[in-house]
């Protein structure tokens, strides 16, 4: 099978590849050390985008967190590609990851030309808009990937910036410390201003304001992947978490992307909305 066929069979809406050396400007010394610990002679990074939009359903969880945990899904699907490549290149190593490696995934996707660089910091892949998860395969093999120019920027219409309640999207790009999605996941004490943001926020996990405002998301294509389109958890209420120990919470929701922080932030966010 060709790489095109392998990625299509894995459910990717688009894929590309970039020589590892082109990612060096985006890697800190610590990140580079982690990459080389995984793969001592990194040569190629393959990037794939997996669509997750399941419709504009009501709920208090971000759309990305309603299906199965994307970390698990994307790595599982990428592993089907890695298994095939390991047979062809038995002397080489292949490391799949999704939002859990030192690689700069979005930069790899942009450099491989598979989508637009959104002002929100997200990849835009028509017809799926920004509703895609990215995954990478790091390898020592010098694979032949399609040569594409780096992705262009989106038109910078300003819709995402205007929609962000916390002003996290400035001229210099996204500011994670002001992002409401990050704030909903933060543990520990919050400032009064941060609590005020969460009281007014319609979601208890994540934030979709910038994505809903993006013109490329006006009519996104639905995901064909069952992990992201069936058995969805749209909302959580206090009764869903009542009496759950951390272990019981993991047993009930451990296959969801909102579960990695445990029940604490979710309970706090629900309580703030009731105040």
Interatomic CA distance for residues 79 and 101, integer angstroms: 15
Interatomic CA distance for residues 206 and 48, integer angstroms: 23
Interatomic CA distance for residues 210 and 207, integer angstroms: 8
Give the pairing type, strands 169-170 and 94-97. unpaired
Domain ranges of the chain: 3-139, 159-220+234-274
pLDDT score at 171: 81
DSSP output for 107-143: HHHHHTTSSEE-TTSSEE-TTSTT-EEEEEEEESS--
The 10s digit of each residue's pLDDT in 7-46 is: 999 999 999 999 999 999 999 999 999 999 999 999 999 9
Nearest to 236 by CA among 198, 263, 209, 261: 263
CA distances from 168 to 2, 109, 120, 196, 212 (A): 41, 22, 9, 16, 15
CB count, 10 Å around CB of 13?
Answer: 21
Q: Which of 83, 99, 153, 175 is catalytic?
A: 99
Structure tokens at 49: 């985008």
pLDDT score at 213: 97
Count Cβ atoms within 10 A of the Cβ of residue 55 and give its class: 0-12 exposed, 13-18 middle, 19 or more buried: exposed
pLDDT score at 205: 97
Question: Is 83 a residue of the active site?
Answer: no
Interatomic CA distance for residues 94 and 86, integer angstroms: 7
CB count, 10 Å around CB of 14?
Answer: 21
What residue ranges of the chain have pLDDT lower than 70? Answer: 275
pLDDT score at 147: 76
State CA 271 to chain mean position distance: 27
């Amino acid at each position: 099978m060709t790489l095109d066929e392998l990625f299509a069979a894995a459910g990717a809406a688009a894929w590309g590849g970039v020589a590892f050396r082109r990612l060096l400007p985006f890697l800190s010394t610590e990140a580079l050390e982690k990459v080389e610990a995984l793969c001592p002679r990194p040569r190629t990074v393959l990037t794939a985008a997996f669509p997750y939009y399941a419709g504009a359903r009501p709920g208090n969880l971000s759309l990305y967190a309603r299906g199965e945990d994307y970390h698990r899904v994307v790595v599982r699907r990428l592993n089907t590609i890695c298994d095939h490549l390991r047979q062809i290149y038995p002397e080489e190593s292949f490391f799949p990851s999704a939002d859990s490696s030192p690689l700069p995934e979005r930069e790899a996707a942009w450099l491989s030309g598979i989508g637009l660089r959104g002002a929100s910091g997200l990849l835009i892949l028509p017809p799926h808009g920004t509703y895609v998860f990215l995954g990478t395969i790091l390898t020592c093999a010098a694979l032949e990937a399609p040569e594409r120019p780096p992705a262009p920027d989106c038109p910078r219409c300003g819709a995402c910036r205007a929609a962000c309640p916390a002003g996290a999207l400035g001229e210099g790009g996204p500011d994670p410390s002001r992002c409401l999605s990050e704030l909903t996941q933060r543990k520990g004490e919050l400032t009064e201003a941060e609590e005020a943001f969460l009281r007014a926020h319609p979601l208890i996990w994540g934030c979709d304001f910038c994505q809903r405002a993006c013109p490329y998301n006006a009519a996104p294509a639905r995901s064909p992947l069952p992990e992201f389109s069936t058995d969805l958890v749209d909302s959580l209420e206090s009764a869903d978490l009542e009496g759950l120990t951390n272990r019981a919470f993991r047993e009930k929701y451990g296959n969801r992307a909102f579960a990695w922080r445990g029940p604490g932030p979710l309970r706090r966010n629900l309580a703030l909305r009731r105040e």
